[in-house]
Amino acid sequence: MSLSETEQAKVTELTLLGLPEEAAVECAKAITAGPNPAGKPAQVYGRMNVKKGADVAALTAAVKEYGAKSAAAPGQLGCSYSIADGALVMFETFDSINAMHIHVGHCFPAFTKILPHCEMDTLLATCDPSQLEFWTTVCNSWGAKTAECYPAL
């Protein structure tokens, strides 16, 4: 499957930042296609531990950039972030699988600015039961010590 010039530019941007090429292609294609809601939205909770000696001002700026890009990503139904008590806490709700790929395509550059200051600890999600395999893979792909996904009722 060939990529448009815009899609190839996005793949290049994301892979230069360290995202695997297969994931970058999925992001670029999803950005072109847009969200594809089917079933219940996925809700994701994440916790990253702030590293000792972290530059909290730089972390705060990176989280604000990440949050703005996340909120603007098509298919993002809601997001909220906080830095307190040695942790970055994240809540995000996606209307579809494509919305997750779009989110990564929009937010990964800012996420790389968060990584020097935090390490992933927990990713928990609920999702439409028909999408459990996908969202379980998502939760397990970011290096969290605890990563679990549950079917929404």
Pick the closest to residue 50 from 60, 35, 42 (CA basis).
60
Task: Share the mean pLDDT of the chain.
Answer: 97
- Answer for the pair 63, 69: CB distance below 8 angstroms, yes or no: no
pLDDT of residue 139: 95
pLDDT of residue 7: 97
**pLDDT tens profile 81-116:** 999 999 999 999 999 999 999 999 999 999 999 999
Predicted TM-score (pTM) of this structure:
0.95
pLDDT band at 38 (very low <50, low <70, confident <90, very high): confident
| Strands 118-127, 42-50: pairing kind | antiparallel
Pick the closest to residue 27 from 65, 73, 67, 62 (CA basis).
73
Residue 53 φ/ψ region, left for φ over 0, alpha for ψ in the -120 to 50 degree band, beta for the rest: left
* Amino acid, res. 14: L
